Amino acid sequence: MTDQAHLTITDHQIGRFAVIGNPVSHSRSPAIHQHFARQTGIALQYDKLEAPVDQFEAIVQDFFASGGRGLNVTVPFKQRAWQLASAHLSPRAKLAEAVNTLWIENGALHGCNTDGAGLVGDLARLGVNCQSARILLIGAGGAARGVIGPLLETGCKTLRVVNRTPLRATELVTTWLSRSRDAGVNLTAGGLSEAVSPSGWDLVINASASSLGDAPPAVPAGLYAPCAWAYDMMYSAQPTPFMQQARRDGAKHTADGLGMLVTQAAVSFEIWHGVTPAIGPVIDAIRAQLDASLHNVAGADKKQP
């Protein structure tokens, strides 16, 4: 499931793991990994570490020096994690220039990027056929970096990256192509206004942070081919702004990124423990929590005078 050997844990102490980011209070990673731990019978402690922007490296070093076994890395630190683990990177992390999973092996810090595997795995779970598909990727930040390689590995026909700042998309694609051994991939870049394809896209993926701002990306209408999918890497108790936009524009199917979140976490779990947990029950459990929180808010609103 991964392109990196897993960490072998040989003692019976409770392993310490965490997610590090800024902000990180909203993260569901602790709940997800506790679900995995109960499934597999592995005892672990999983915390949240909110790192001041200027202290990320020091906190990572202190965590592992004090016996920590694995870190998940979230915004805005994935590229800095890549630099920290630059001597021992998985092939995917090398191409992505971003790391979301760290661990110590043979006394050295190792890094992998499981975001792409999480996305592709969730698309497969949903029944999205990426082989020979025309794919549009919106966004050129850290989220996009981690998924380009795995998306191309599916055998898609073409992958186009568009961004609000076209230069960032061009730089991302140019850098990726310079690091890839496959010079024949159909990978292109452009601005948001250049997102339309004459025949439409079979799959449009939102890797931008637009849904965090409660607004869809500023892409033109007419993006979707018949029977197309729209996938937002963000997740919510309700359809995201991007998903709502996609429905209005003719996408037949929409999905948010909860499944990607759980699947990439499962890949990290496998790296650390050598065991692949079941993903479906955890997605269902987290979705039920999201639904319950939405109903609780709605109930509270009804009680207001």
Q: Beta strand pairing status for 134-138 and 201-206? A: parallel
Residues in the chain: 305
* Candidate list 48, 78, 157, 252, residue with the active-site label: 78
Consecutive H or E run containing 152: helix 148-153
Question: What 3-state DSSP class applies to 130?
Answer: coil
Place of tokens 């599916």: 154
What six digits make up the tokens of 273? 């423990």
At 145, which amino acid appears? R
CB 149 within 8 A of CB 160: no
Q: Which residues contact 5 (CB under 8 A, 6 or more apart)?
A: 105
- Counting DSSP H helices and E strands in the chain, the numbers are 11, 11
Per-residue burial over 217-240, b = 16 or more CB atoms within 10 Å of its CB, e = otherwise: bebeeebbbeebbbbbbbbbeebb
Cis check for the bond before 166: say yes or no (omega within 30 of 0).
no
CA distance linking residue 11 with residue 144, whole number of Å = 37
CB 205 within 8 A of CB 213: no
78 assigned to active site: yes
Terminal-residue alpha carbon distance, the chain = 53
DSSP 7-57: PPP-S-SPEEEEEEESS-TT--HHHHHHHHHHHHT--EEEEEEE--GGGHH
Question: Active-site residues: which are they?
Answer: 78
